[in-house]
């Protein structure tokens, strides 16, 4: 593993701790000047984003792209 990634993980509970996480939520603030210059000063001023840490793959048996041959 990369030294920087190892250092960051260790500083925040270690890889085993992060492996337990299933979701991450972050509050984001964007550059208000960028949107204000376009007439939307509040459009993305404060957002909350939640992501899953697990890779969600479709069920291949139910996929419309499944080969029938």
Is 66 a member of any domain?
no
How far is the C-alpha of 48 from the C-alpha of 41, rounded, in Å?
17
**What's the pLDDT tens digit per position in 10-61?**
999 998 888 888 999 999 877 677 778 888 877 777 889 999 888 777 666 6
What domain range is 49 assigned to?
21-53
Is 5 a member of any domain?
no
Query: The pTM is what?
Result: 0.48
* H-type alpha helices, the chain: 3-11, 14-19, 32-36
54 contacts: CB under 8 Å, gap ≥ 6: 22
Is 48 a member of any domain?
yes
Our count of domains for the chain comes to: 1
14: left (phi over 0), alpha (psi -120 to 50) or beta: left
């Amino acid at each position: 593993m990369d030294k920087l990634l190892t250092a960051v993980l260790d500083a925040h509970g270690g890889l085993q701790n992060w492996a337990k996480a299933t979701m991450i939520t972050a509050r984001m603030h964007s550059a208000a000047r960028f949107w204000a210059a376009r007439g939307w000063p509040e459009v993305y001023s404060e957002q909350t984003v939640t992501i899953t840490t697990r890779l969600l793959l479709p069920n291949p048996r139910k996929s419309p792209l499944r080969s029938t041959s």
